[in-house]
């Protein structure tokens, strides 16, 4: 019974930490998406500038930042899954 409680408490702690830490990357991702949409609208309004790298297959700093954020989301999502598995495992351990 004690092992089940410990597993459940550790699992809940991991879930809470993962949910807390995943908020920031999602907020940054939304901000990057809004800025990219705004830049595309501005570029189309100007008639499509040849100086922008976004439409020409080149990677921008925002693309690199998205990759970093995506890795953070995967990491903390994995921590949340482990926490969920510990909680479920704590229910089945006697």
CA distance 72 to 58: 23
61-92 vs 2-45: helix crossing angle, rounded to 10: 160
What's the pTM value of the predicted model, to 2 decimals?
0.74
Mean pLDDT of all residues belonging to the chain: 86
For range 47-68, the mean pLDDT:
72
Instruction: Please count the CA atoms within 13 angstroms of the CA of 20 that sit on its side-chain side.
Output: 6
More confident: 40 or 4? 4
Paired tokens of 62: 């925002």
Q: What length is written for the chain?
A: 94
**Beta carbons of 75 and 16 less than 8 angstroms apart:** no
**Mind listing the pLDDT tens digit for each residue in 9-27?**
999 999 999 999 999 998 8
Q: Which residue has the higher pLDDT, 70 or 57?
A: 70
């Amino acid at each position: 019974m004690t092992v089940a409680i410990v597993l459940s408490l550790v699992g809940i702690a991991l879930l809470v930490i993962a949910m807390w830490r995943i908020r920031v990357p999602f907020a940054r991702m939304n901000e990057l998406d809004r800025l990219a949409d705004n830049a595309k609208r501005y570029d189309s309004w100007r008639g499509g500038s040849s100086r922008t790298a976004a439409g020409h297959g080149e990677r921008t700093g925002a693309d690199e930042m998205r990759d970093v954020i995506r890795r953070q989301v995967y990491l903390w999502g994995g921590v949340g899954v482990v926490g969920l598995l510990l909680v479920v495992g704590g229910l089945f351990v006697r």
